[in-house]
Structure 1
Amino acid sequence: MSAFFVTGTDTDAGKTLVTSGLLARARRNGLTTLGLKPLASGCEATAEGLRNADALALQGQSHPAADYDTINPFTFAPAIAPHLAARRAGMILALDDLVERTRPLLESGRDLTLVEGAGGWRVPLNEHEDLSDLAVRLGLPVLLVVGLRLGCISHARLTAEAIQADGLRLAGWAGSLVDPEFASDAALYRDNLATLEATLPAPCLGVIQRLAAGEASAMAAAAANYLELPDGD
Protein backbone atom coordinates (compact mmCIF):
# COMPACT_ATOMS: atom_id res chain seq x y z
CA MET A 1 0.00 0.00 0.00
CA SER A 2 1.28 3.46 -0.93
CA ALA A 3 -0.01 6.93 -0.08
CA PHE A 4 1.17 10.34 -1.25
CA PHE A 5 0.23 13.98 -0.83
CA VAL A 6 -0.13 15.86 -4.13
CA THR A 7 0.69 19.56 -4.26
CA GLY A 8 1.31 22.03 -7.05
CA THR A 9 3.45 24.99 -7.90
CA ASP A 10 0.34 27.16 -7.93
CA THR A 11 -3.42 27.18 -8.38
CA ASP A 12 -4.43 25.60 -11.70
CA ALA A 13 -1.06 23.86 -12.09
CA GLY A 14 -2.80 20.63 -13.09
CA LYS A 15 -2.96 18.81 -9.75
CA THR A 16 -6.28 17.13 -10.39
CA LEU A 17 -5.32 16.11 -13.92
CA VAL A 18 -2.13 14.46 -12.63
CA THR A 19 -3.81 12.96 -9.57
CA SER A 20 -6.69 11.46 -11.53
CA GLY A 21 -4.25 10.34 -14.23
CA LEU A 22 -2.11 8.49 -11.69
CA LEU A 23 -5.20 6.85 -10.21
CA ALA A 24 -6.33 5.82 -13.69
CA ARG A 25 -2.86 4.41 -14.41
CA ALA A 26 -2.98 2.43 -11.17
CA ARG A 27 -6.43 1.05 -12.01
CA ARG A 28 -5.13 0.09 -15.45
CA ASN A 29 -2.44 -1.90 -13.64
CA GLY A 30 -5.09 -3.74 -11.60
CA LEU A 31 -4.56 -1.80 -8.37
CA THR A 32 -7.17 -0.53 -5.93
CA THR A 33 -7.25 3.24 -5.59
CA LEU A 34 -8.54 6.11 -3.47
CA GLY A 35 -8.34 9.80 -4.35
CA LEU A 36 -8.98 12.26 -1.53
CA LYS A 37 -9.61 16.01 -1.66
CA PRO A 38 -10.02 16.82 2.05
CA LEU A 39 -10.60 20.52 1.45
CA ALA A 40 -12.12 22.22 -1.59
CA SER A 41 -13.39 25.70 -2.37
CA GLY A 42 -15.11 26.52 -5.62
CA CYS A 43 -18.06 24.14 -5.23
CA GLU A 44 -21.47 24.15 -6.89
CA ALA A 45 -24.78 23.64 -5.14
CA THR A 46 -26.55 20.43 -6.14
CA ALA A 47 -29.49 18.43 -4.81
CA GLU A 48 -26.97 16.31 -2.89
CA GLY A 49 -25.12 19.33 -1.45
CA LEU A 50 -22.00 21.25 -2.48
CA ARG A 51 -19.90 19.44 -5.06
CA ASN A 52 -16.42 20.23 -6.34
CA ALA A 53 -15.41 19.22 -9.88
CA ASP A 54 -11.90 18.18 -8.84
CA ALA A 55 -13.21 16.00 -6.02
CA LEU A 56 -15.72 14.40 -8.39
CA ALA A 57 -12.89 13.59 -10.80
CA LEU A 58 -11.00 11.83 -7.99
CA GLN A 59 -14.15 10.03 -6.88
CA GLY A 60 -14.54 8.72 -10.41
CA GLN A 61 -11.07 7.15 -10.29
CA SER A 62 -11.47 5.61 -6.81
CA HIS A 63 -11.95 1.84 -6.93
CA PRO A 64 -13.76 0.33 -5.09
CA ALA A 65 -16.16 3.27 -5.12
CA ALA A 66 -16.23 5.74 -2.23
CA ASP A 67 -18.99 8.18 -1.32
CA TYR A 68 -18.49 11.89 -1.92
CA ASP A 69 -18.23 12.91 1.75
CA THR A 70 -15.34 10.47 2.14
CA ILE A 71 -13.51 12.04 -0.78
CA ASN A 72 -14.25 15.67 0.11
CA PRO A 73 -15.46 16.32 3.67
CA PHE A 74 -14.85 20.09 3.75
CA THR A 75 -16.54 22.04 0.94
CA PHE A 76 -17.03 25.75 0.31
CA ALA A 77 -18.82 27.53 -2.50
CA PRO A 78 -16.57 30.54 -3.30
CA ALA A 79 -13.57 29.84 -5.54
CA ILE A 80 -11.19 31.64 -3.21
CA ALA A 81 -8.48 30.65 -0.72
CA PRO A 82 -9.96 27.97 1.58
CA HIS A 83 -9.38 29.84 4.83
CA LEU A 84 -11.20 32.87 3.40
CA ALA A 85 -14.02 30.70 2.05
CA ALA A 86 -14.38 29.08 5.47
CA ARG A 87 -14.44 32.50 7.15
CA ARG A 88 -17.30 33.59 4.86
CA ALA A 89 -19.15 30.43 5.88
CA GLY A 90 -18.64 31.26 9.56
CA MET A 91 -16.09 28.48 10.11
CA ILE A 92 -12.49 28.26 11.19
CA LEU A 93 -10.58 25.41 9.59
CA ALA A 94 -8.44 23.34 11.95
CA LEU A 95 -5.68 20.89 11.10
CA ASP A 96 -6.88 18.40 13.71
CA ASP A 97 -10.23 18.10 11.92
CA LEU A 98 -8.59 17.35 8.57
CA VAL A 99 -6.24 14.82 10.17
CA GLU A 100 -9.17 13.11 11.92
CA ARG A 101 -11.05 12.71 8.63
CA THR A 102 -8.04 11.70 6.52
CA ARG A 103 -5.81 9.47 8.65
CA PRO A 104 -8.21 6.49 8.93
CA LEU A 105 -8.61 6.42 5.14
CA LEU A 106 -4.88 5.86 4.70
CA GLU A 107 -5.40 2.53 6.45
CA SER A 108 -8.27 1.41 4.20
CA GLY A 109 -6.11 -1.15 2.41
CA ARG A 110 -6.09 0.52 -1.03
CA ASP A 111 -2.99 -0.11 -3.12
CA LEU A 112 -2.64 3.60 -3.95
CA THR A 113 -4.10 6.54 -2.04
CA LEU A 114 -3.52 10.10 -3.22
CA VAL A 115 -4.39 13.10 -1.05
CA GLU A 116 -4.70 16.19 -3.22
CA GLY A 117 -4.09 19.58 -1.65
CA ALA A 118 -5.57 22.92 -2.65
CA GLY A 119 -3.51 25.51 -4.50
CA GLY A 120 0.19 25.49 -3.69
CA TRP A 121 2.23 24.28 -0.74
CA ARG A 122 1.72 27.27 1.56
CA VAL A 123 -2.07 27.64 1.37
CA PRO A 124 -3.27 28.71 4.85
CA LEU A 125 -5.86 26.84 6.88
CA ASN A 126 -6.07 29.53 9.53
CA GLU A 127 -3.80 32.12 11.15
CA HIS A 128 -1.42 29.48 12.51
CA GLU A 129 -1.69 26.37 10.29
CA ASP A 130 -1.20 25.60 6.61
CA LEU A 131 -2.66 22.84 4.47
CA SER A 132 0.89 21.53 4.04
CA ASP A 133 0.79 20.71 7.76
CA LEU A 134 -1.65 17.94 6.88
CA ALA A 135 1.05 16.18 4.86
CA VAL A 136 3.50 16.71 7.72
CA ARG A 137 1.13 15.32 10.37
CA LEU A 138 0.32 12.31 8.20
CA GLY A 139 3.99 11.78 7.30
CA LEU A 140 3.21 11.47 3.60
CA PRO A 141 5.78 11.66 0.82
CA VAL A 142 4.90 14.40 -1.65
CA LEU A 143 4.29 14.48 -5.39
CA LEU A 144 4.77 17.89 -6.99
CA VAL A 145 2.78 18.99 -10.04
CA VAL A 146 4.64 21.64 -12.01
CA GLY A 147 2.39 23.87 -14.09
CA LEU A 148 4.53 24.34 -17.19
CA ARG A 149 4.52 28.05 -17.92
CA LEU A 150 6.96 30.94 -17.79
CA GLY A 151 8.44 31.07 -14.28
CA CYS A 152 7.81 27.42 -13.46
CA ILE A 153 11.46 26.57 -12.80
CA SER A 154 11.73 28.95 -9.86
CA HIS A 155 8.26 28.04 -8.59
CA ALA A 156 9.11 24.33 -8.72
CA ARG A 157 12.49 24.67 -7.03
CA LEU A 158 11.12 26.88 -4.25
CA THR A 159 8.27 24.45 -3.61
CA ALA A 160 10.67 21.50 -3.53
CA GLU A 161 12.87 23.35 -1.04
CA ALA A 162 9.84 24.12 1.18
CA ILE A 163 8.74 20.48 1.12
CA GLN A 164 12.18 19.30 2.18
CA ALA A 165 12.44 22.06 4.81
CA ASP A 166 9.25 20.68 6.34
CA GLY A 167 10.96 17.30 6.70
CA LEU A 168 9.10 15.45 3.95
CA ARG A 169 10.38 13.44 1.00
CA LEU A 170 9.69 14.69 -2.49
CA ALA A 171 8.88 11.36 -4.12
CA GLY A 172 8.39 12.60 -7.67
CA TRP A 173 7.19 15.39 -9.89
CA ALA A 174 5.05 15.63 -12.99
CA GLY A 175 4.71 18.43 -15.50
CA SER A 176 1.42 19.67 -16.88
CA LEU A 177 1.47 22.01 -19.87
CA VAL A 178 -0.93 24.73 -18.76
CA ASP A 179 0.30 27.36 -21.24
CA PRO A 180 0.63 26.08 -24.84
CA GLU A 181 2.76 29.12 -25.74
CA PHE A 182 5.40 27.82 -23.35
CA ALA A 183 6.02 24.93 -25.75
CA SER A 184 5.90 27.01 -28.94
CA ASP A 185 9.72 27.02 -29.12
CA ALA A 186 10.40 23.28 -29.05
CA ALA A 187 14.12 23.57 -28.27
CA LEU A 188 13.54 26.05 -25.44
CA TYR A 189 10.75 23.88 -24.06
CA ARG A 190 13.07 20.87 -23.97
CA ASP A 191 15.72 22.98 -22.23
CA ASN A 192 13.25 24.04 -19.57
CA LEU A 193 12.26 20.43 -18.93
CA ALA A 194 15.93 19.42 -18.79
CA THR A 195 16.54 22.13 -16.19
CA LEU A 196 13.66 20.88 -14.07
CA GLU A 197 14.95 17.30 -14.30
CA ALA A 198 18.46 18.43 -13.33
CA THR A 199 17.44 20.64 -10.41
CA LEU A 200 14.47 18.91 -8.77
CA PRO A 201 15.57 16.26 -6.25
CA ALA A 202 13.10 13.60 -7.38
CA PRO A 203 12.30 11.60 -10.51
CA CYS A 204 9.98 12.90 -13.20
CA LEU A 205 6.83 10.78 -13.42
CA GLY A 206 5.85 12.24 -16.78
CA VAL A 207 4.88 15.38 -18.64
CA ILE A 208 1.26 15.78 -19.71
CA GLN A 209 0.77 17.74 -22.90
CA ARG A 210 -2.17 20.12 -23.30
CA LEU A 211 -5.35 18.05 -23.43
CA ALA A 212 -8.62 19.12 -24.99
CA ALA A 213 -11.29 19.76 -22.38
CA GLY A 214 -13.58 16.81 -21.92
CA GLU A 215 -15.36 14.52 -19.51
CA ALA A 216 -13.30 13.93 -16.36
CA SER A 217 -12.84 10.16 -16.81
CA ALA A 218 -11.69 10.60 -20.42
CA MET A 219 -9.16 13.24 -19.40
CA ALA A 220 -7.86 11.01 -16.60
CA ALA A 221 -7.44 8.14 -19.05
CA ALA A 222 -5.59 10.41 -21.48
CA ALA A 223 -3.34 11.77 -18.72
CA ALA A 224 -2.52 8.22 -17.59
CA ASN A 225 -0.82 7.62 -20.93
CA TYR A 226 1.86 10.19 -20.00
CA LEU A 227 2.50 9.05 -16.42
CA GLU A 228 4.41 6.42 -14.46
CA LEU A 229 3.45 5.47 -10.92
CA PRO A 230 5.71 6.72 -8.10
CA ASP A 231 7.92 4.42 -6.11
CA GLY A 232 6.20 3.66 -2.83
CA ASP A 233 9.37 2.71 -0.96
Structure 2
Amino acid sequence: MTHAYFVTGTDTEIGKTTIAAGLLCAARQAGLSTAAAKPVASGCVHGPEGLRNDDALALLGQCSLALAYEEVNPFAFAPAIAPHLAAREAGVELSVVRLRPAVEWVLARGADFTLVEGAGGWRVPLAGRESLSDLAIALQLPVILVVGVRLGCINHAVLSAEAIERDGLRLAGWVANIVDPHTSRLEENLATLAERLPAPCLGRVPRLGEATPETVAQYLRLPAL
Protein backbone atom coordinates (compact mmCIF):
# COMPACT_ATOMS: atom_id res chain seq x y z
CA MET A 1 0.00 0.00 0.00
CA THR A 2 1.27 3.45 -0.89
CA HIS A 3 1.05 6.43 1.46
CA ALA A 4 1.37 10.09 0.49
CA TYR A 5 1.21 13.18 2.69
CA PHE A 6 1.36 16.93 2.33
CA VAL A 7 3.89 18.53 4.70
CA THR A 8 3.20 22.02 5.98
CA GLY A 9 4.55 24.12 8.84
CA THR A 10 3.38 26.55 11.48
CA ASP A 11 5.58 29.22 9.89
CA THR A 12 8.59 29.63 7.64
CA GLU A 13 12.13 28.77 8.84
CA ILE A 14 10.95 26.18 11.36
CA GLY A 15 12.72 23.15 9.91
CA LYS A 16 9.98 21.78 7.68
CA THR A 17 12.41 20.35 5.13
CA THR A 18 14.66 18.98 7.85
CA ILE A 19 11.73 17.02 9.25
CA ALA A 20 10.48 15.96 5.81
CA ALA A 21 13.92 14.63 4.87
CA GLY A 22 14.06 12.83 8.23
CA LEU A 23 10.68 11.20 7.60
CA LEU A 24 11.80 10.04 4.16
CA CYS A 25 15.00 8.67 5.67
CA ALA A 26 13.02 6.82 8.34
CA ALA A 27 10.82 5.33 5.63
CA ARG A 28 13.87 4.14 3.68
CA GLN A 29 15.33 2.61 6.82
CA ALA A 30 12.04 0.74 7.23
CA GLY A 31 12.47 -0.75 3.77
CA LEU A 32 9.95 1.50 2.00
CA SER A 33 10.47 3.10 -1.40
CA THR A 34 10.34 6.90 -1.25
CA ALA A 35 9.57 9.88 -3.45
CA ALA A 36 9.06 13.59 -2.83
CA ALA A 37 7.91 16.79 -4.43
CA LYS A 38 8.44 20.44 -3.58
CA PRO A 39 6.38 21.97 -6.35
CA VAL A 40 7.45 25.56 -5.77
CA ALA A 41 10.58 26.96 -4.17
CA SER A 42 12.10 30.43 -3.93
CA GLY A 43 15.59 31.30 -2.80
CA CYS A 44 17.17 29.12 -5.48
CA VAL A 45 20.77 29.43 -6.67
CA HIS A 46 21.97 29.52 -10.27
CA GLY A 47 24.23 26.60 -11.18
CA PRO A 48 25.47 24.82 -14.31
CA GLU A 49 22.20 22.88 -14.54
CA GLY A 50 19.92 25.83 -13.79
CA LEU A 51 18.21 27.03 -10.63
CA ARG A 52 18.55 24.72 -7.66
CA ASN A 53 17.01 24.91 -4.19
CA ASP A 54 18.73 23.42 -1.14
CA ASP A 55 15.46 22.16 0.36
CA ALA A 56 14.43 20.43 -2.86
CA LEU A 57 17.89 18.87 -3.16
CA ALA A 58 17.62 17.59 0.41
CA LEU A 59 14.32 15.89 -0.42
CA LEU A 60 15.69 14.51 -3.69
CA GLY A 61 18.59 13.00 -1.76
CA GLN A 62 16.13 10.89 0.26
CA CYS A 63 14.16 9.61 -2.73
CA SER A 64 14.84 5.96 -3.48
CA LEU A 65 13.06 6.25 -6.83
CA ALA A 66 15.01 7.81 -9.67
CA LEU A 67 13.61 11.32 -10.04
CA ALA A 68 15.02 14.27 -11.95
CA TYR A 69 15.40 17.54 -10.06
CA GLU A 70 12.76 19.18 -12.26
CA GLU A 71 10.27 16.48 -11.26
CA VAL A 72 10.78 17.21 -7.58
CA ASN A 73 10.87 21.00 -7.97
CA PRO A 74 9.20 22.10 -11.22
CA PHE A 75 8.85 25.78 -10.25
CA ALA A 76 12.10 27.33 -8.97
CA PHE A 77 12.75 31.03 -8.42
CA ALA A 78 15.90 32.90 -7.41
CA PRO A 79 14.67 35.66 -5.05
CA ALA A 80 14.40 34.54 -1.43
CA ILE A 81 10.92 36.01 -1.06
CA ALA A 82 7.36 34.68 -0.92
CA PRO A 83 6.89 32.27 -3.86
CA HIS A 84 3.94 34.13 -5.39
CA LEU A 85 5.98 37.36 -5.43
CA ALA A 86 9.02 35.62 -6.91
CA ALA A 87 6.82 34.02 -9.56
CA ARG A 88 5.20 37.36 -10.39
CA GLU A 89 8.63 38.95 -10.89
CA ALA A 90 9.55 36.07 -13.22
CA GLY A 91 6.33 36.46 -15.19
CA VAL A 92 5.01 33.07 -14.06
CA GLU A 93 1.48 32.55 -12.79
CA LEU A 94 1.40 30.06 -9.94
CA SER A 95 -1.92 28.25 -9.84
CA VAL A 96 -3.22 24.89 -8.70
CA VAL A 97 -3.94 24.02 -12.34
CA ARG A 98 -0.25 24.47 -13.17
CA LEU A 99 1.18 22.83 -10.04
CA ARG A 100 -1.11 19.81 -9.81
CA PRO A 101 0.05 17.80 -12.88
CA ALA A 102 3.70 17.90 -11.76
CA VAL A 103 2.82 16.59 -8.31
CA GLU A 104 0.48 13.96 -9.70
CA TRP A 105 3.34 12.73 -11.88
CA VAL A 106 5.44 12.07 -8.76
CA LEU A 107 2.50 10.48 -6.93
CA ALA A 108 1.86 8.22 -9.92
CA ARG A 109 5.34 6.73 -9.53
CA GLY A 110 3.76 4.68 -6.75
CA ALA A 111 6.40 4.94 -4.04
CA ASP A 112 5.49 3.34 -0.73
CA PHE A 113 5.96 6.70 1.00
CA THR A 114 5.68 10.06 -0.77
CA LEU A 115 5.88 13.54 0.72
CA VAL A 116 4.73 16.74 -0.97
CA GLU A 117 6.26 19.70 0.83
CA GLY A 118 4.65 23.10 0.74
CA ALA A 119 6.37 26.43 1.31
CA GLY A 120 6.05 28.13 4.68
CA GLY A 121 2.68 27.72 6.35
CA TRP A 122 -0.76 26.52 5.33
CA ARG A 123 -1.99 29.74 3.70
CA VAL A 124 1.03 30.69 1.58
CA PRO A 125 -0.45 32.52 -1.45
CA LEU A 126 -0.40 31.42 -5.06
CA ALA A 127 -1.86 33.51 -7.90
CA GLY A 128 -5.15 35.32 -7.42
CA ARG A 129 -7.00 34.10 -4.33
CA GLU A 130 -5.47 30.62 -4.35
CA SER A 131 -3.11 29.26 -1.68
CA LEU A 132 -0.83 26.26 -1.51
CA SER A 133 -3.45 24.71 0.74
CA ASP A 134 -5.70 24.56 -2.34
CA LEU A 135 -3.15 22.24 -3.94
CA ALA A 136 -3.33 19.87 -0.98
CA ILE A 137 -7.12 20.02 -1.18
CA ALA A 138 -7.10 19.27 -4.93
CA LEU A 139 -4.84 16.27 -4.32
CA GLN A 140 -6.84 15.19 -1.24
CA LEU A 141 -3.68 14.46 0.72
CA PRO A 142 -3.61 13.96 4.49
CA VAL A 143 -1.38 16.52 6.19
CA ILE A 144 1.68 16.34 8.42
CA LEU A 145 2.19 19.54 10.43
CA VAL A 146 5.70 20.55 11.49
CA VAL A 147 5.44 22.66 14.63
CA GLY A 148 8.39 24.96 15.19
CA VAL A 149 8.49 24.87 18.98
CA ARG A 150 9.15 28.35 20.30
CA LEU A 151 7.16 31.11 22.00
CA GLY A 152 3.78 31.43 20.27
CA CYS A 153 3.82 28.00 18.65
CA ILE A 154 0.64 26.74 20.37
CA ASN A 155 -1.49 29.43 18.75
CA HIS A 156 0.10 28.86 15.33
CA ALA A 157 -0.26 25.09 15.59
CA VAL A 158 -3.89 25.07 16.74
CA LEU A 159 -4.93 27.62 14.12
CA SER A 160 -3.18 25.60 11.42
CA ALA A 161 -4.87 22.39 12.56
CA GLU A 162 -8.27 24.12 12.58
CA ALA A 163 -7.72 25.46 9.05
CA ILE A 164 -6.67 22.03 7.78
CA GLU A 165 -9.79 20.46 9.27
CA ARG A 166 -12.02 23.23 7.94
CA ASP A 167 -10.57 22.60 4.47
CA GLY A 168 -11.76 19.00 4.70
CA LEU A 169 -8.39 17.32 5.07
CA ARG A 170 -7.15 14.96 7.75
CA LEU A 171 -4.30 15.99 10.01
CA ALA A 172 -2.40 12.71 9.96
CA GLY A 173 0.25 13.69 12.47
CA TRP A 174 2.51 16.44 13.75
CA VAL A 175 6.16 16.77 14.65
CA ALA A 176 7.56 18.95 17.42
CA ASN A 177 10.71 20.51 16.04
CA ILE A 178 12.36 22.36 18.91
CA VAL A 179 13.84 25.36 17.13
CA ASP A 180 14.31 27.24 20.41
CA PRO A 181 15.59 24.89 23.13
CA HIS A 182 15.36 27.74 25.63
CA THR A 183 11.59 28.04 25.22
CA SER A 184 10.13 28.81 28.65
CA ARG A 185 8.12 25.91 30.12
CA LEU A 186 9.08 23.66 27.21
CA GLU A 187 7.56 20.47 28.63
CA GLU A 188 4.32 22.22 29.49
CA ASN A 189 4.11 23.64 25.98
CA LEU A 190 4.66 20.22 24.44
CA ALA A 191 1.99 18.73 26.70
CA THR A 192 -0.46 21.44 25.66
CA LEU A 193 0.25 20.78 21.99
CA ALA A 194 -0.43 17.08 22.53
CA GLU A 195 -3.73 17.95 24.21
CA ARG A 196 -4.88 20.45 21.59
CA LEU A 197 -3.80 18.86 18.29
CA PRO A 198 -6.20 16.16 16.99
CA ALA A 199 -3.52 13.85 15.65
CA PRO A 200 -0.64 11.71 16.94
CA CYS A 201 2.78 13.21 17.57
CA LEU A 202 5.26 11.60 15.16
CA GLY A 203 8.25 12.71 17.15
CA ARG A 204 10.03 15.34 19.17
CA VAL A 205 13.22 16.54 17.48
CA PRO A 206 15.70 18.45 19.66
CA ARG A 207 17.93 21.24 18.42
CA LEU A 208 20.72 19.27 16.75
CA GLY A 209 24.25 20.40 16.00
CA GLU A 210 24.11 18.54 12.71
CA ALA A 211 20.54 17.87 11.64
CA THR A 212 21.17 15.26 8.94
CA PRO A 213 18.25 13.13 7.74
CA GLU A 214 19.80 10.16 9.54
CA THR A 215 20.08 11.92 12.90
CA VAL A 216 16.58 13.41 12.61
CA ALA A 217 15.08 10.03 11.67
CA GLN A 218 16.13 8.65 15.06
CA TYR A 219 13.52 10.87 16.73
CA LEU A 220 10.60 10.11 14.37
CA ARG A 221 7.95 7.37 14.53
CA LEU A 222 6.38 6.43 11.20
CA PRO A 223 4.07 3.76 12.70
CA ALA A 224 2.08 6.57 14.33
CA LEU A 225 0.82 7.62 10.87
Q: Same fold (TM over 0.5)?
A: yes
- Quote the offset at 1:91 in angstroms: 1.5
- Quote the offset at 1:97 in angstroms: 0.8
Q: State the partner residue of 1:197.
A: 194
Matched residues in 2 for 1:78 and 1:230: separation? 38
Q: State the partner residue of 1:224.
A: 217
- Counterpart of 2:175 in structure 1: which amino acid? A
Q: Which runs of 5+ in 2 are unaligned?
A: none
C-alpha RMSD of matched pairs (Å): 1.1
Share of identical aligned residues, percent?
58
Matched residues in 2 for 1:120 and 1:109: separation? 27
Deviation digits for residues 176-207 of structure 1 (CA, Å, limit 9, x no counterpart): 1112221xx5xx21111000000000000001
Matched residues in 2 for 1:56 and 1:134: separation? 21
Matched residues in 2 for 1:231 and 1:33: separation? 18
CA contact (8 A) 1:157 1:199 kept: yes
Q: 1:11 to 1:207 in 2, by over 3 A?
A: same
State the TM-score, normalizing by the size of structure 1.
0.93
- Quote the offset at 1:230 in angstroms: 5.5
Structural mapping, 1:158-197, within 5 Å = 158-182=159-183, 188-197=185-194
- Counterpart of 2:155 in structure 1: which amino acid? S
CA contact (8 A) 2:72 2:106 kept: no
Matched residues in 2 for 1:230 and 1:67: separation? 29
CA contact (8 A) 2:202 2:224 kept: no
CA contact (8 A) 1:45 1:77 kept: yes
Q: 1:230 to 1:9 in 2, by over 3 A?
A: farther
Matched residues in 1 for 2:116 and 2:36: separation? 6
CA contact (8 A) 2:175 2:202 kept: yes
Matched residues in 2 for 1:50 and 1:211: separation? 29
The structure 1 segments of at least 4 consecutive aligned residues displaced by more than 2 Å after TM superposition are none
- Quote the offset at 1:212 in angstroms: 1.5
Matched residues in 2 for 1:212 and 1:145: separation? 19
State the TM-score, normalizing by the size of structure 2.
0.97
Deviation digits for residues 134-192 of structure 1 (CA, Å, limit 9, x no counterpart): 1000000000000011000000000000000000000000011112221xx5xx21111
Q: Which runs of 5+ in 1 are unaligned?
A: none
- Correspondence 1:148 to 2:149: yes
